[in-house]
Structure 1
Amino acid sequence: MPSLTSVYPSAGSNRLIFRFMLVAGALYLAWFFGYEQWLAVDGRLDAVLCHHIAAASVGLLRTGGFAAALAGPGLNLVLMSGEPSVIVGAPCNGLVLYALFGGFILAFPGSWRRKVWFIPSGMLLIWVLNVLRVAALAVNHHYSHETVAFNHHFTFTFVVYGVIFGLWMFWVRRLAASTSDRPLSPLLTDAAHS
């Protein structure tokens, strides 16, 4: 039988949930007006990120002994042995993933000192995963181009979002929870006791 505190959360817990929703909503509005209405239309930020992901992937492939190069007007096309294999476009440059990851950590309660190092560290890990993903897709295209669509849309999406979810859970259970003696939410408290 559920306890009264699990059915009727305390005012403090409601305040934390309201704070999370308020900060998350403000961050979404900032994303919508800052990126969707201005930076995405301008395109320069996306172009730079696409080029850097493609260039880092080519560097990784060359280190692995592959004949990889950059091409295309924005130098965001990865060539393998002179053949086009992967184009890094705006939806795949990782910017949305950085914003999702960082926005959740910013909105969730926790120490600002920990957020200052955890957010950049998580974004760096996401960037590394994205570089590995593009390099792996290029190799995949080179050796088995018929499986690229599946791996691009499912395999790598599952891996990257799984890692981001793992980072969020690490924040919620280890880093944010250890900064306060009070429970962060009734859901976390109930989950910990079940």
Structure 2
Amino acid sequence: MKALLLKYKPVIKFIITFLAVYGVLSMGYNFYLDLSKVGTYYPDYITNLVAVQTQNLLEVLGYNTQMLPHPNEPSIMVVVEGKYLARVIEGCNGTSIIILFVSFIIAFAGRFKTTVFYVIAGSVLIYVVNLVRIVILSIGLYHYPWREEVLHTVIFPGIIYGMVFLLWMFWVNRFSHINK
């Protein structure tokens, strides 16, 4: 048994570190969501910020856009040119994806400064790409509403998760201690 533990020590260390970081960050995020129910931003600050920034980007692109609180659920309705297209829910704000990304990077940590810089830079990149994803999805739904299923469930999740996967592979191959 000891030989197996020694042989698979890096794998076991990765799994334990990943699960610990993911658990702590997820619990912290759930705590934040519970606290935000009594806050001034609807449905929570991060989701509200994503909705406002989406509206700003859509308006810069020439689309008359409104973000309205959904009357029946904790989400924000995306209304472009008077047409209700979609809703921004907590799952759209990218935080869960960032938590997954950060957990993986820390589980494959490299030098401290490099790890911190990569976590911050990668998180910002994921946030921005997610924001652009919502903007493009909104434009796509406005012009091609019959493509909603493929746009929302295949193409755009593929873009965001594909980018996260590439960031992970770049990290593992360039900076993590796994290569040493």
TM-score category (smaller protein) = 0.7 to 0.9
Q: TM-score, length-normalised on structure 1?
A: 0.77
Cα distance, 1:161–1:75 mapped onto 2, change above 3 Å? closer
Name structure 2 gaps, 5 residues minimum.
none
Aligned counterparts of 1:80 and 1:158: Cα–Cα separation in 2: 24
Matches of 2:126 and 2:24, distance apart in 1: 21
Alignment of 1:151-170 (within 5 A): 151-170=151-170
- State the secondary structure of the residue aligned to 1:65: coil
For 1:114 and 1:155, the matched residues in 2 are separated by: 32
Task: For 1:94-173, list aligned pairs within 5 A.
Answer: 94-173=94-173
Matched with 2:22 is: 28
1:104–1:138 CA distance, 2 compared to 1 (3 A): same
What's the secondary structure of 1:132's corresponding residue? helix
Aligned to 1:176: 176
TM-score, normalization: structure 2? 0.83
**Equivalents in 1 of 2:76, 2:179: separation in Å?**
46
Name the amino acid aligned to 2:113: R
- What is the distance in 2 between the residues matched to 1:127 and 1:138? 17
Q: Do structure 1's residue 14 and structure 2's residue 11 form an aligned pair?
A: no
Q: CA deviation at 1:33?
A: 3.7
Q: Which segments of 5 or more consecutive residues in structure 1 lack a partner in the other structure?
A: 1-7, 185-194
Superimposed CA distance per residue, residues 124-179 of structure 1 (whole angstroms, 9 cap, x where no aligned partner) = 111111111111121112111111222111100111110000000000001225xx
- Residue in 2 that maps onto 1:3: none
Aligned-residue offset at 1:15: 3.0
The question of whether the paired residues in 2 share the 8 Å contact of 1:85 and 1:141 is answered with yes
Conservation of the 8 A alpha-carbon contact between 1:77 and 1:87: yes
1:49 pairs with 2:49: no
CA distance in 2, matches of 1:88, 1:166: 26
Count how many residue pairs are aligned between Structure 1 and Structure 2.
Answer: 171
State the distance in 1 between where 2:5 and 2:26 align: 33
Corresponding position: 1:39 with 2:39:
no
Q: Is 1:63 aligned with 2:60?
A: yes
Larger RCO of the pair (alpha carbons < 8 Å, separation 6+): 1
> How far off is 1:79 after superposition?
1.5
Residue 72 (structure 1) aligned to one of 69, 75, 89: 69
| 1:57 alignment partner AA | T
- The structure number with the bigger radius of gyration is 1
User: Does the CA-based 8 Å contact 2:22-2:100 persist in structure 1?
Assistant: no
